[in-house]
Structure 1
Amino acid sequence: MESNLGFVLIEDNLIDQFVIKKLLKKALDINPLYIANNGKEGLEWLLKNVKQKPLIILLDIQMPIMNGFEFLEHFTSLEEQIKDKIQIFVLSSTLDLDEIKKAKENSYVSGFFSKPLKIETLKNNFT
């Protein structure tokens, strides 16, 4: 069964990439999943690949080259027809309350998930 959602993971940690890919497959039968290693790769992929299918982005905060907050700043300048198809969920292990607040208050962020991501979180939010 193919999901009516596409998933993009913007995450630099290889272990987190592996675990989240497995969780998405198990919880939601999501396959394939596009993985970007930083915000810059994620933006480049979005500009080339956004189609009719709605997208869910799981966005890490702390990454090299372009972090999650920088990604969100660039995201605001995308065309509305692209932004309208995308929901962003911040995925982070941060304990910094200011970072959590900043992520949750961003108008483009639909939710904040703590790492390690739990299968129940995926099922409760995407099924």
Structure 2
Amino acid sequence: MSDVRHNVCLIDDDKIYQFTAKMILEATGLTHSIKTFFNGQEAIDYLISPENQIPENLPDVIFLDINMPVMNGWEFLEAFSLFYKELPKQIVVYMVSSSVDESDIQKSRTYEPVTDYVIKPINKDKYRELLSVLAN
């Protein structure tokens, strides 16, 4: 197992998903910190705040839900796409949804920041696989 530990960001309005995802991610031993946001706007505000413009304060990976209030996953990607290349480090984005709709999967591929589309629920082995890719 890799010794690299990652800063993780969960953007999802489901408190139960956030709780279980945090528990599973922590159990992988591959996380340094886990930040959670209940909608895309909260995450955008965090990512663009001046104090977070140093690499250590930014996530290495974002797990992004589609359906959320205030700002959904698609709206987050529209906003994130405008500035992500200017951030002091590259952030990997995984769309995470219970939707198996092929149109959602295809739409996610139209956004440059998105690395992959992952269908919920996600188990420990899948999180470990997704985080291990970051070390390469």
Q: Secondary structure at the match of 1:99?
A: helix
Q: Which one of 97, 102, 111 corresponds to residue 106 of structure 1?
A: 111
Counterpart of 2:120 in structure 1: which amino acid? K
Kindly indicate whether the alpha-carbon contact (under 8 Å) linking 1:9 and 1:57 is maintained by their aligned counterparts in 2.
yes
Inter-partner Cα distance in structure 2 for 1:43 and 1:27:
26
Q: How does 1:1-127 map to 2 (within 5 A)?
A: 3=5, 5-48=6-49, 49-53=52-56, 55-78=60-83, 80-82=85-87, 84-127=89-132
TM-score by structure 2 length? 0.83
C-alpha RMSD of the superposition: 1.9
Asked if the contact 2:11/2:38 (under 8 Å) is kept, the reply is yes
Deviation at 1:2, TM superposition (A): 7.0
- TM-score of the superposition, structure 1-length normalised? 0.89
Equivalenced residues, count: 126
| Secondary structure in structure 1 of the residue aligned to 2:21 | helix
In structure 1, the gaps of 5 or more residues are: none
Verify the 8 A CA contact 1:28 1:122 in the aligned structure 2.
no
Secondary structure of the structure 2 residue equivalent to 1:95: coil
Between the aligned partners of 2:83 and 2:116, the Cα distance in structure 1 is 20
Where structure 2 has 5 or more consecutive residues not aligned to the other structure, the ranges are none
Runs of 4+ in structure 1 off by over 3 angstroms are none
Alpha-carbon shift at residue 41 of structure 1 (Å): 0.3
